[in-house]
Structure 1
Amino acid sequence: MALNGINLALAWSGQEAIWQRVYLALGLTQAEIDEYFAGPAFLAWARMGNLHTWGGPLPRSWHLKQLYLQHRILDRMRSFGMTPVLPAFAGHVPKAVTRVFPQANVTQLGSWGHFNCSYSCSFLLAPGDPLFPLIGSLFLRELTREFGTDHIYGADTFNEMQPPSSEPTYLAAATAAVYEAMTAVDPSAVWLLQGWLFQHQPQFWAPAQVGAVLGAVPRGRLLVLDLFAESQPVYTRTASFQGQPFIWCMLHNFGGNHGLFGALEAVNRGPEAARLFPNSTMVGTGMAPEGIHQNEMVYALMAELGWRKDPIPDLAAWVTRFAAQRYGISHPEAEAAWKLLLRGVYNCSGEACSGHNRSPLVKRPSLQMNTTVWYNRADVFEAWRLLLTATPTLATSPTFRYDLLDVTRQAVQELVSLYYEAVRTAYLSKELVPLLRAGGILAYELLPALDEVLASDSRFLLGSWLEQARAAAVSEAEAAFYEQNSRYQLTLWGPVGNILDYANKQLAGLVADYYTPRWRLFLEALVESLSQGVPFQQRQFDQNAFLLEQAFVLSTQRYPSQPRGDTVDLAKKLFLKYYPWWAASSL
């Protein structure tokens, strides 16, 4: 981060340990606090008030290790001259606060993300309640005593949650209460606010409501993240956040999905447009992905733009240099492959860019799945061919081997969509043999082949993902708990598939034991439907699929954390088998 010029970043680890001290001091029991905290895989949403309880409780060792980790993070950031952003109190409290303080004015908000109130429906303290400044200042005083401060704090009261009132006076009071609790402890406090709430519910956040929030903090003491500016900027419809400084951010990836994706032209031009906007208050550029370790070119471009006054004049020339730097040598086929990807998968625009990977491969199957893409699939297959052509020269480069695997994975993803279309067409035409042929290739040849090639790189292993979770534990019971949290986040996300396949990834082991069984179940149901002349029942299939999904989450099967097989050989094998089919079918 420091080498790329990033000088402001969240440092939110360890805050639950501080909250535990505060809640114990207020009179809550340890059991009540344990019941409130979400599990490790869901803390990001718990910290914004979206969730509580789900995936918890947090072990005692978690708090101790996170405190230690936070100290190390802060020491390193400060040694580099970076500014850590610490958390502050946004108004969300455990329900148990009302037991200790029965007169507290607390409002229960609505549910979030298909969760019921057992895990959602945050309790929000009224801004005028005397407890608000008490809790806010207690937390910040304890936090800064433990970690020191660099005077910038993050807090989000209404992230993806509708406020209890749309009255500007209420919204201004709720905002002022957060800020005043900060300045009571740190008179130099600056509040870092996610601008996502204005983008996520634009029908609620009309000009009066937006103005109430932005005007409740002295100008210059609220720093707003325009979180999804490459696709849906907010500064353009809020008069540059009504004079409050803001950071133009690229979100790019929801859920940390695999899949080649980017809106590079919008990313390239966006910061300059924001800087030249009338009365612009833009003070920097930023990145706010929900997951990294994919689409590295997108992040390389965004990092470079932080150093530039103007957009890159020729992205095709830039991507040529990117490929040469990435592999340590110029190679015409590799550079041509990247140019094709630049004009295709990395040239998203419009509504298609509002999400990330919606491939049928990583979704629970149905007959209504959308396979449309914003790019020409031919560009992906040709880039695949060109990278394979470059292997005699570049195969010793680790970054090249990674990219070859990633483009191979993308090509298989495209093939899954095409074979799914063939399956659906055959089913709707009541043609059993074509259904069996296409479905057999998809579920019994293509997906196992994808799992095999993913297994050749440690960065695409489910075993590596789960081992990282287990490594945080101090006992086998804790390791199993952390692993199950991780499995839930990858798949069901909630106890009943509340945000199903949101964080979908393409990892060896996950493809074999989660996606593949689900696809086979779907195809068996379609075959049975045609054979018996009865309609396909999506609801029944969903119930059966959930049993498979739940079995995967609850499984204790261990997966390899070391790669096996040769990426180049496996990619060539896949190419020789499937490229001729695609080429013939696309004529």
Structure 2
Amino acid sequence: MESTWDRLNDSQRKVKNTDSLLAVRKNIDGVLGPAPAAQPALFGLGNSLPLPPASSPDPGHWTPGQYRYYQNVCTHSYSFVWWDWARWEREIDWMALNGINLALAWGGQEAIWQRVYLALGLTPAEVDEYFPGPAFLAWGRMGNLHSWGGPLPRSWHLKQLYLQHRILDRMRSFGMTPVLPAFAGHVPKALTRVFPQINVTQMGSWGHFNCSYSCTFLLAPRDPMFPIIGSLFLRELTKEFGTDHIYGADTFNEMQPPSSEPSYLAAATTAVFEAMTAVDSDAVWLLQGWLFQHQPEFWGPAQVGAVLEAVPAGRLLVLDLFAETQPVYVRTASFRGQPFIWCMLHNFGGNHGLFGTLEAVNRGPAAARLFPNSSMVGTGMAPEGIGQNEVVYALMAELGWRKNPVADLGAWVGSFARRRYGGPHQAAEAAWRLLLRSVYNCSGEACSGHNRSPLVKRPSLQMNTTVWYNRSDVFEAWRLLLTAAPTLATSPAFRYDLLDVTRQAAQELVSLYYEEVRTAYSNKELVHVLRAGGLLVYELLPELDMALASDSRFLLGSWLEEARMAAVSEAEGRFFEQNSRYQLTLWGPVGNILDYANKQLAGLVADYYAPRWQLFVGELVESLVQGVPFKQRQFDENVFRLEHAFVFGSQRYPSQPQGDTVDLAKRLFLKYYPRWAAGSS
């Protein structure tokens, strides 16, 4: 009978002959053509920027501003998932123009894992069953999920390998350091069929998923298979893509470790790092510090120290991921001396909604540099989703080049408006100063980054409508931008900002109408419930949808078309679109992370949010008419059927804008501003 070690040795022999494994490069070149040579640097920048060398950094020569980092593991699912090369090229050029010199490059890794797992003896079906779908890959990569939304088609692997080569070529041509993935310890359950003696632990559930899709398997750090799998993966990865010697891995992202014993945590950390250095002796591990922030009750001083001190000094580069709101360096003695990057997370799930902590962002990096025995080596932008609140990222990018904070943010934001619109305008600059002191000046508990507007949440009678700012500032900024419209309307950036502020004003109006509905229901005033609910459902939400439809960046059709364009067949297009619809709404099969990745898009407002509100108001009215209490549980069951129907719907939505943004914004303003602007808070 074949032993475990016979199987393992046979698998190693297969993996060593990597030229024959799946012949992936040959397939890519045959289907899509070879990747081009590196392109010239954009606008003559490239390596003229003060970037660190591509080789492994010397731990003795870290400097406070050495790195300007970009991305979050989740960004690859919430924003990048359906991108083609043209969109990636624009993003990398933006990165270069903003001085980014360190960024994740995690595409194509599932194709590499597929090679490794097949060589280790898993069947193609077992490998397919393991990976989540495209819109949920980030959480498979961090060990939170398996299988959900899958399987990945073969075309996906080929395209992602092709894209990864072009992404790396472009990044490296600008002197950037791409961060490649490494083995964090998570393995498919099917590996226990091939190697029944391996020591694995089934982790707990994550994100309200049951074990059909979560409860992933973690290989014990001292199991002999750990260094073998880790080195096989990294060897195959670096053979395919080369290396710049920095690797990312997250073993315990939002997952409580099996043991709080420092010896276990140190062993788990050591195993990951040693699997890297077995292949690359210059390896530096990039670790998202989110785990220490997310579960502070677990990660006490002994547990944090066990992780940070298990890697040689200077070889663990930590992202203080949410430092603008909940910095971890303060309570970990600057990560026990390991170098860290002060990051602004800012956005969760790619939500729309004007939001920022600009005062905290402005002061944060300088304060971290002055912290006793600071080991800060750079700044970073780590949003879960992009494409919103551009002013926040403009400030953060600038701070990567500054030693001190901006002295006067009011003056800075006025300058931002002038640069953005191509010239001065008093009303537009005044509008931005109002936004700075309101939506962009969050502090304290409210600043988790989620958009909690009732508009994008499943309705209930317990919704929180409190905000940290005066709504009147938003309405006044809206008025001022419309005042500037005759002069600035030829600027695409101005038109986008006008629509974004109009969208925000409508979001505020939803909260105010909801408060009227809830108060009227509490007072058993049927007529007032009908009036306020009718205005919300049949006037405001359709008008908001119509305004959003005037800009391609606020179209559900654009979002879904990206998914379909990434496919190679009609069936694959439907599959990708359903992945995208799930992520925007239910997130899981039964609303497991409901509305987390909410977006305010034309089509989504009309056909997802508005029907939920219509049902909610209708059931409140029925409750008053029948004289029976409103039953939230029954409503949730009823509204889930609407949500589920949207996810599985096949309606096509326009991908080209319709209507004039300025005219539609003005129509909304004239209808709603006179009633709500004065005294709203």
Q: Which TM bucket (shorter chain)?
A: over 0.9
Conserved in 1, the CA contact under 8 Å of 2:355 and 2:449?
A: no
SS at match of 1:354: coil
Q: CA deviation at 1:354?
A: 1.5
Aligned to 1:557: 651
Residue 170 of structure 2 aligns with an amino acid whose one-letter code is R
The one of 264, 267, 271 equivalent to 1:173 is 267
**1:396-411 correspondence to structure 2 within 5 Å:** 396-411=490-505
1:423-476 Cα deviation digits (max 9, x unpaired): 000000000001100000001100000000000000000000001111110000
Aligned to 1:499: 593
Conserved in 1, the CA contact under 8 Å of 2:187 and 2:219?
A: yes
Distance 1:392 1:479 in 2: 42
The one of 323, 326, 345 equivalent to 2:439 is 345
Q: CA deviation at 1:176?
A: 0.1
1:309-344 Cα deviation digits (max 9, x unpaired): 000000000001000000001000000000000000
Residue 575 of structure 2 aligns with an amino acid whose one-letter code is F
Aligned to 2:213: 119
1:321 partnered with 2:415: yes
Residue 625 of structure 2 aligns with an amino acid whose one-letter code is S
Q: CA deviation at 1:355?
A: 3.0
**1:521-532 correspondence to structure 2 within 5 Å:** 521-532=615-626
Aligned to 1:412: 506
Q: CA deviation at 1:130?
A: 0.3
Aligned to 1:364: 458
Aligned to 2:51: none
Distance 2:677 2:276 in 1: 62
SS at match of 1:2: helix
Structure 2 segments unaligned to the other structure (5+ residues) = 1-94
Distance 1:491 1:501 in 2: 5
Q: CA deviation at 1:585?
A: 6.7
Residue 404 of structure 1 aligns with an amino acid whose one-letter code is L
1:252-303 Cα deviation digits (max 9, x unpaired): 0000000000000000000000000000000000011001110000000000
The one of 212, 234, 245 equivalent to 2:306 is 212
Distance 1:5 1:140 in 2: 28
Distance 1:496 1:276 in 2: 47
SS at match of 2:96: coil
Structure 1 segments unaligned to the other structure (5+ residues) = none
The one of 204, 209, 230 equivalent to 1:110 is 204
Distance 2:98 2:384 in 1: 19
**1:88-107 correspondence to structure 2 within 5 Å:** 88-107=182-201
Q: CA deviation at 1:586?
A: 4.2
Q: CA deviation at 1:382?
A: 0.1
1:36 partnered with 2:130: yes
The one of 310, 313, 326 equivalent to 1:232 is 326
1:79 partnered with 2:79: no
Q: CA deviation at 1:15?
A: 0.1
CA pair 584-196 structure 1, distance change in 2 beyond 3 A? closer
1:521-568 Cα deviation digits (max 9, x unpaired): 000000000000000000000001100000000001100000000000
1:430 partnered with 2:546: no
**1:16-415 correspondence to structure 2 within 5 Å:** 16-415=110-509
Distance 1:363 1:496 in 2: 15
Residue 17 of structure 1 aligns with an amino acid whose one-letter code is A
Aligned to 1:518: 612
Q: CA deviation at 1:356?
A: 2.0
Distance 1:536 1:348 in 2: 34
Conserved in 1, the CA contact under 8 Å of 2:472 and 2:678?
A: no
Question: Quick one: higher RCO (CA 8 Å, sep 6+), 1 or 2?
Answer: 2
Conserved in 1, the CA contact under 8 Å of 2:470 and 2:680?
A: no
1:132-187 Cα deviation digits (max 9, x unpaired): 00000000000000000000000000000000000000000000000000000000
Residue 91 of structure 1 aligns with an amino acid whose one-letter code is G
SS at match of 2:286: strand
Residue 598 of structure 2 aligns with an amino acid whose one-letter code is N
1:486-544 Cα deviation digits (max 9, x unpaired): 00000000000000000000000000000000000000000000000000000000001
Distance 2:418 2:449 in 1: 30
1:3-57 Cα deviation digits (max 9, x unpaired): 1000000000000000000000000000000000000000011100001000000
The one of 565, 578, 581 equivalent to 2:672 is 578
Residue 258 of structure 2 aligns with an amino acid whose one-letter code is P
SS at match of 1:185: coil
Aligned to 2:579: 485
- The Cα RMSD (Å) is 0.7
Distance 1:436 1:467 in 2: 37
Residue 107 of structure 2 aligns with an amino acid whose one-letter code is S
SS at match of 1:24: helix
SS at match of 2:374: coil
Distance 1:437 1:554 in 2: 33
Distance 2:469 2:560 in 1: 34
Conserved in 1, the CA contact under 8 Å of 2:472 and 2:679?
A: no
1:338-374 Cα deviation digits (max 9, x unpaired): 0000000000000000132000000000000000000
Q: CA deviation at 1:122?
A: 1.1
Identity of aligned residues (%): 86
Distance 1:475 1:586 in 2: 51
Distance 1:255 1:282 in 2: 27
Residue 428 of structure 1 aligns with an amino acid whose one-letter code is S
Residue 242 of structure 1 aligns with an amino acid whose one-letter code is R
Residue 381 of structure 2 aligns with an amino acid whose one-letter code is M
Runs of 4+ in 1 over 4 A off after TM superposition: 584-587
Distance 1:271 1:17 in 2: 38
Conserved in 1, the CA contact under 8 Å of 2:476 and 2:677?
A: no
Q: CA deviation at 1:584?
A: 5.6
Aligned to 2:636: 542
SS at match of 1:224: strand
Q: TM (normalized to structure 2)?
A: 0.86
